[in-house]
DNA sequence: CCCTACACGTGACAC
DNA sequence: TGTGTCACGTGTAGG
């Protein structure tokens, strides 16, 4: 473990190789580091400063290790594994869990919220997908009407966007669509703005007839 | 980095302190490690074996580090963070994510139970959330009716509570709602009582018409 | 005796 | 400058 720092022979070794010279024989192995720190308060020699820096460094590194390990221990309690599993295999399990979570939350995060009273559009630019495609989520909440879904389909088709998943909740004449949409490689973030505008005009077409003006536009980026 | 292993002075230092003796002066610093490995194939001296073991050890440790770091890199891609985030803060985020997952799965367990015959309200004050918000779960089981969900929404909106997740099971005219609700910072446990009372009056409004008195109130705290 | 996994101290590099 | 993070080689305990 090499706990006793001051008595460690490595220190003598390092001190010699650093051209250390102070109050005694230059090449001799007197090693007065400890005393010079405690008795001589004034004039911290460069050697002492280096030694102090080394100590700081050592302790900082220890704190860092402890921080990391505390997180690992917390993960150990959170996962189905005892306290004596490998650091590496623990992390492997963690990776599995996080992947799981990614799928689940991507699926069900916000799609089970009820339709709100106000009209809403949100396009959340998503994360890197599995096979290189860009996945993002679009949500549309408005008054329900029979031709809404077909029109939505038209918009997505014209933009060459593919609906990976759609979740629809209707209640009390209101509807909320949450779409998981895949964009291919020649799409840029520009496409998301196109989609936003298309959805916006879709809502306007719906509202221009008679509805009270209660539309609200929400644009969010992750 | 200390890449040049054979020329490192630490090696000489260690060799001296190990009582190493072979074919030359005992205390002298001849250090014939490299040659004895390459020229003398027979009779691996204990010193050579120790040196080989040290090399093996070194490489094994490197492999271990790489294994751990590869998992960490995978986590970096899975989480919303760039490739230059701290190892410690990365693990902190991972802990948050795994906690999230734990909540969700714990919730899923009981939310797929069928609606019971008796009316039930339960508000379970939940655990510390990821970003400081308080997450808790509210469950409502009663006779199904079309305006129930909108009224529920009104209640939550008026209390400024956000539905993170909603699970609904209806069977035979009965409905069970299990809501995962997020309260923000200026909410206290008082808000949960408000919610309880609101849900209670919601059920009473439903029952006052004609229903048989079979309501039962369940209040649970986790 | 391996071998594995861990904690430690240290040099290097970044801001 | 110091302050923090990382990779490395090493000592050491347990299988």
What residues of B are in contact with residue A87 (Cβ under 8 Å)? 68
Q: B91, B110, B129 — which closes off a domain?
A: B110
Q: A88, A110, A132 — which closes off a domain?
A: A110
Region A159-179: what's the mean pLDDT?
80
Domain co-membership, B60 together with B106: yes
Q: Are B36 and B45 in contact (CB under 8 A)?
A: yes
Query: Of B113, B96, B98, nearest to B169 (Cα)?
Result: B113
Q: Testing the interface with B: which of A15, A29, A97 to mutate, by most B Cβ within 10 A? A: A97
Strands (E), chain B: 120-124, 134-143, 162-171, 174-183
> Rounded to whole angstroms, how far apart are CA atoms A73 and A79?
10
Backbone angles phi, psi at B175, to 5 degrees: -135, 145
pLDDT category at B61 given cuts 50, 70, 90 is very high
> Rounded to whole angstroms, how far apart are CA atoms A119 and A86?
51
Q: Which has more confidence, B72 or B133?
A: B72
Domain co-membership, A171 together with A130: yes
Q: Is the pLDDT of residue A34 over 50?
A: no
Q: Testing the interface with A: which of B12, B86, B96, B149 to mutate, by most A Cβ within 10 A? A: B149
Burial of A221 (0-12, 13-18, 19+ CB in 10 A): exposed
Q: Which has more confidence, A6 or A132?
A: A132
Q: Is the pLDDT of residue B31 over 60?
A: no
Give, as one character, the DSSP assignment of residue A115.
Answer: P
Q: Which has more confidence, A152 or A14?
A: A152
The gap between B6 CA and D8 C1' (Å) is: 15
pLDDT category at A189 given cuts 50, 70, 90 is low
Domain co-membership, B99 together with B153: no
> Rounded to whole angstroms, how far apart are CA atoms A58 and A173?
66
Task: Please give the pLDDT value at position A222.
Answer: 33
The gap between B1 CA and D2 C1' (Å) is: 21
Q: Are A151 and A116 in contact (CB under 8 A)?
A: no
Region A187-198: what's the mean pLDDT?
80
Q: Which of A13, A100, A114 sits opposite B163 (nearest CB)?
A: A114
CA-CA distances (angstroms) from residue A205 to A26, A120, A198? 90, 14, 11
| Choice among A42-46, A141-145, A179-183, B74-78 with the minimum mean pLDDT | A42-46
pLDDT category at B147 given cuts 50, 70, 90 is confident
CA-CA distances (angstroms) from residue A111 to A83, A104, A168, B35, B159? 37, 11, 8, 70, 21
Q: Minimal Cα–Cα distance from A63 to chain B, Å?
A: 11
Q: Which has more confidence, B10 or A133?
A: A133
Percentage of chain B with pLDDT > 70? Answer: 60
CA angle B13, B19, B25 (to 5 degrees): 85
Domain co-membership, A58 together with A132: no
> Rounded to whole angstroms, how far apart are CA atoms B130 and A112?
20
Q: Is the pLDDT of residue B138 over 90?
A: no
- State the nearest residue by CA to the C1' of C8: A1
A212 touches strand C (CB under 7 A): no
CA angle A58, A62, A67 (to 5 degrees): 150
The count of structural domains within chain A is 2
Burial of B85 (0-12, 13-18, 19+ CB in 10 A): middle
Q: Minimal Cα–Cα distance from B71 to chain A, Å?
A: 6
The gap between B115 CA and C8 C1' (Å) is: 58
The gap between B190 CA and C2 C1' (Å) is: 64
| Choice among A78-92, A139-153, A181-195, B127-141 with the minimum mean pLDDT | B127-141
pLDDT category at B22 given cuts 50, 70, 90 is very low
Q: Is residue B35 part of a domain?
A: no
Region B140-165: what's the mean pLDDT?
86
CB contact under 8 A, B98 and A99: no
Grouping H, G, I as helix, E, B as strand and the rest as coil, residue A177 is: strand
Task: Please give the pLDDT value at position B114.
Answer: 64
Q: Testing the interface with B: which of A69, A87, A103, A171 to mutate, by most B Cβ within 10 A? A: A171
Q: Which of residues 22-81 of B touch strand C (CB under 7 A)?
A: 49, 53, 56-57, 60-61, 64
Task: Please give the pLDDT value at position A128.
Answer: 52
A61-75, A109-123, B124-138, B205-219 — most confident range: A61-75
Q: Are A76 and A85 in contact (CB under 8 A)?
A: yes
- State the nearest residue by CA to the C1' of C4: B60
Q: Is residue B181 part of a domain?
A: yes
Average confidence score pLDDT of chain A? 71
**Which own/partner pairs from B199-204 qualify as long-range (CB within 8 Å, at least 24 positions apart)?**
B199/B121, B199/B123, B199/B138, B199/B140, B199/B155, B200/B121, B202/B140, B202/B148, B202/B151, B202/B152, B202/B155, B203/B119, B203/B121, B203/B140, B203/B142
Domain co-membership, A144 together with A104: no
- Pick out the nucleotide with least CA–C1' distance to B65: D7
- Pick out the nucleotide with least CA–C1' distance to B85: D5
Q: Where residue A134 sits, what CATH number does that domain have?
A: 3.30.70.260
Region A15-36: what's the mean pLDDT?
41
Q: Is residue A7 part of a domain?
A: no
Domain co-membership, A203 together with A125: yes
Q: Is residue A161 part of a domain?
A: yes
pLDDT category at B101 given cuts 50, 70, 90 is confident
Average confidence score pLDDT of chain B? 71
List Cβ neighbours of B168 (8 Å cut-off, separation of 6 or more).
B149, B175, B176, B177, B178
A1 touches strand C (CB under 7 A): yes
Q: Is residue B137 part of a domain?
A: yes
Q: Which two tokens stand for residue B119?
A: 């009316």
What residues of A are in contact with residue B17 (Cβ under 8 Å)? 9
Region B33-51: what's the mean pLDDT?
60
Task: Please give the pLDDT value at position B145.
Answer: 85
CB atoms within 10 A of CB B165: 22
Query: Which nucleotides on strand D sit less than 7 A from a protein beta carbon?
Result: 2-13
Q: Which two tokens stand for residue A123?
A: 């396009």
CA angle B100, B106, B108 (to 5 degrees): 105
Percentage of chain A with pLDDT > 70? Answer: 60
> Rounded to whole angstroms, how far apart are CA atoms A179 and A135?
10
CB contact under 8 A, A101 and B102: no
Domain co-membership, A158 together with A139: yes
**Phi/psi-derived region of residue A2, left when phi > 0, alpha when psi is between -120 and 50, beta in every other case:** left
CB contact under 8 A, A101 and B99: no
Q: Is the pLDDT of residue A144 over 70?
A: yes
**Domain span at residue A132?**
120-207
Domain co-membership, A129 together with A79: no
Task: Please give the pLDDT value at position B183.
Answer: 83
Q: A64, A80, A110 — which closes off a domain?
A: A110
Q: Is residue B1 part of a domain?
A: no
Count the alpha carbons within 13 Å of A205 in the hemisphere toward its beta carbon.
Answer: 12
Domain co-membership, A181 together with A144: yes
Task: Please give the pLDDT value at position B105.
Answer: 58
Domain co-membership, B104 together with B162: no
Give, as one character, the DSSP assignment of residue B8.
Answer: -
Q: Which two tokens stand for residue A209?
A: 């007839």
Q: Is residue A17 part of a domain?
A: no
A130-134, B64-68, B157-161 — most confident range: B64-68
pLDDT category at B21 given cuts 50, 70, 90 is very low
The gap between B124 CA and D1 C1' (Å) is: 54
Task: Please give the pLDDT value at position A31.
Answer: 40
> Rounded to whole angstroms, how far apart are CA atoms B4 and B10?
11
Query: Of A114, A116, A132, A142, nearest to A199 (Cα)?
Result: A142
CB contact under 8 A, B78 and A17: no
Q: Is the pLDDT of residue B96 over 80?
A: yes
Q: Is the pLDDT of residue B154 over 70?
A: yes
Query: Of B122, B128, B145, nearest to B216 (Cα)?
Result: B122
Q: Is the pLDDT of residue A64 over 90?
A: yes
Q: Minimal Cα–Cα distance from B40 to chain A, Å?
A: 32
CB contact under 8 A, B98 and A95: no
Q: Is residue B99 part of a domain?
A: yes
| Rg of chain B taking only CA atoms, in angstroms | 34
pLDDT category at A16 given cuts 50, 70, 90 is very low
Q: Which has more confidence, B88 or B1?
A: B88
CA angle B109, B204, B154 (to 5 degrees): 70
Q: Which has more confidence, B100 or B142?
A: B142
């Amino acid at each position: 473990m090499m706990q006793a720092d001051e008595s460690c022979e490595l220190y003598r070794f390092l001190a010699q190789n650093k051209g250390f010279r102070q109050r005694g024989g230059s090449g001799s192995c007197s090693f007065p580091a400890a005393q010079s720190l405690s008795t001589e308060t004034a004039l911290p020699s460069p050697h002492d400063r280096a030694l102090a820096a080394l100590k700081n460094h050592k302790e900082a590194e220890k704190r860092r290790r402890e921080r990391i390990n505390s997180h690992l221990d917390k993960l150990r309690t959170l996962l189905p594994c005892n306290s004596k599993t490998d650091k590496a295999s623990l992390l492997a399990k963690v990776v599995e869990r996080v992947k799981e979570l990614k799928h689940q939350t991507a699926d069900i995060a916000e799609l089970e919220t009820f339709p709100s009273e106000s009209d809403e559009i949100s396009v959340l630019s998503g994360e890197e997908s599995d096979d290189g495609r860009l996945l993002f989520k679009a949500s549309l909440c408005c008054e329900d009407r029979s031709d809404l879904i077909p029109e939505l389909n038209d918009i997505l088709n014209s933009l060459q966007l593919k609906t990976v998943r759609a979740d629809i909740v209707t209640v009390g004449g209101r509807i909320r669509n949450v779409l998981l949409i895949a964009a291919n490689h020649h799409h840029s973030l520009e496409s998301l703005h196109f989609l936003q505008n298309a959805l916006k005009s879709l809502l306007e077409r719906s509202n221009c007839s008679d509805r009270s003006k209660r539309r609200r536009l929400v644009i969010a980026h992750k």
